[in-house]
Structure 1
């Protein structure tokens, strides 16, 4: 009776040892759950396929096509290869230089003004003692949800020389009417004011989110050490908001370089091309003169300038080690 039982147990032990040995060998075949995991990941690729197709159709294809088209010139409906001739025209076109100067003026004046206002409003609307904070935040953000064309038309009516609301208010204080949209200096002021009105609330919400992520312990520790409001703002708030300020500054810079709707509706680039921007000039060259090769070259010039300026801003504003 004991011998058969011993043999059976021995064979069972040997089988278990063999199974453990096969499972522990480095050349053992992959386990089924891993293959099952790979099969379960395949539906993710199918779900991402529509987005990838749309990205290729509406981003990658136009990008490559515009680069290819910038090497051609069209005359009489016939496209001819001209190489870098379209890019050489950029250095001889005075309107390119003027549009870049106009964009630079807007960038240097409007972006710091808007970011400063957004930072001040966000800091104010983050104070616990302020009543109706949610309502004030909503009112500040509302301009960002208005359509570009609608608010630009409203600004054009308000800034009208004859009967405009702004000149009527100035007249109450005895000031003379200002020709907002037909004077080179005031046209730039009008465009900057319109952009600042619309996008300040948008940047304020982003900065406000950054303020709310700052731990309250930092404020308490600073007050215990005797720091005042200004010291807390400069030594704690600004350093903690550095990534947010970099983001808002870079995105606002890109928006200033790509400005089109406001100056097109308010002034159409005038007077005397004082509000002409590279994108508006690109539109006129491409869709009024139908010189799509040169328009593509302008577009790629703008892409390079935007990338360079954004890179410089990242380098200048990056967090110190």
Structure 2
């Protein structure tokens, strides 16, 4: 009897496993056809020289060696690192500041949260076009506002010294998603900790640095990882700005004034579709993948350390 029951259980398990596999089969097929095969194909292409009208020709490590010598690769990587490690802390600070303000109890709090989140749902291309107009050195609202206090505004998108800072300013406008995540983290900090601190006579600053910040530190580090990864995919804004400035055409393959906003993904795109060097572009993509993996590993280690040393850690 036990033996028969065991056989039935095995048949039931096999049937459940088969049903589960059949339900997952469309996703598996899609992953293999549209993710895994293109990924492995691009790895092969990174060791070849080819374009849409030329068959791939094996060149070994030539593409990777070229990347280390190409000054535009280093320039674009430097610009991307600037966005990753300058824009990310600023965006996290603003998101945390807004979340702290929205965590307070006051009338109309839900409406204010909606207002702060709305920029995150506006299409990026439309938002970028609005910012291009706002950055206009003569008619833009930004220079008009700072002109009210006697400051002569720069040519934001023309002067290479200010172009990347213009992108940073654009990024601070779309921190709604990060703000909501920080707000959820703030609400997850136990209220009893604040009550105990108040009994001990702690002020607002002390409570923030000793309770709030350690409590949300893992979330902040995680958001930092995501923002840094997104910074290495920074493309749409600069592509729109350069096309709007050049009016499209062949000149849009540049990187802005003195290549000051030539981001790595933009240079990768230009290499593949403007210069038609697909093999070199594949090598650039895998080089970027390696950089992101290394940075993600480092940030993950930092996250674990912060989690262990944060509130409740031993």
Q: What does residue 173 of structure 2 align with?
A: 197
- 2:292 aligns with one of 284, 306, 311: 306
State the shift of 1:29 in Å.
6.3
SS state of the match for residue 189, structure 2? coil
CA distance in 2, matches of 1:196, 1:289: 33
1:210-247 per-residue CA deviation (whole Å, 9 max, x = no partner) reads 11222222222222333322222222222221221121
1:257-296 equivalent positions in 2, closer than 5 A: 257-267=232-242, 269-296=255-282
Query: Given the alignment of the two structures, is residue 218 of structure 1 paired with residue 193 of structure 2, yes or no?
Result: yes
Q: What does residue 106 of structure 1 align with?
A: 83
Query: TM-score, normalized by length of structure 1?
Result: 0.86
Larger radius of gyration: 1
Whether contact under 8 Å (2:222, 2:303) holds in the other structure is no
SS state of the match for residue 38, structure 1? helix
Whether contact under 8 Å (1:103, 1:278) holds in the other structure is yes
Query: Given the alignment of the two structures, is residue 247 of structure 1 paired with residue 222 of structure 2, yes or no?
Result: yes
CA distance in 1, matches of 2:302, 2:20: 40
Q: Give the RMSD, CA atoms, in angstroms.
A: 2.0
State the shift of 1:263 in Å.
1.5
CA distance in 2, matches of 1:84, 1:30: 57
SS state of the match for residue 104, structure 2? coil
Query: TM-score, normalized by length of structure 2?
Result: 0.87
CA distance in 2, matches of 1:39, 1:186: 63
Q: What does residue 117 of structure 2 align with?
A: 141
SS state of the match for residue 131, structure 1? coil
Q: What does residue 6 of structure 2 align with?
A: 30
Which ranges in structure 2 are unaligned for 5 or more consecutive residues?
244-254, 309-313
Whether contact under 8 Å (2:76, 2:267) holds in the other structure is yes
Q: What does residue 155 of structure 1 align with?
A: 131
SS state of the match for residue 184, structure 1? coil
> Alignment length, in residue pairs?
295
CA distance in 2, matches of 1:151, 1:57: 34
Query: Given the alignment of the two structures, is residue 65 of structure 1 paired with residue 51 of structure 2, yes or no?
Result: no
Whether contact under 8 Å (1:158, 1:165) holds in the other structure is yes
State the shift of 1:34 in Å.
4.6
1:186-224 per-residue CA deviation (whole Å, 9 max, x = no partner) reads 1111111112212x1111111111112222222222223
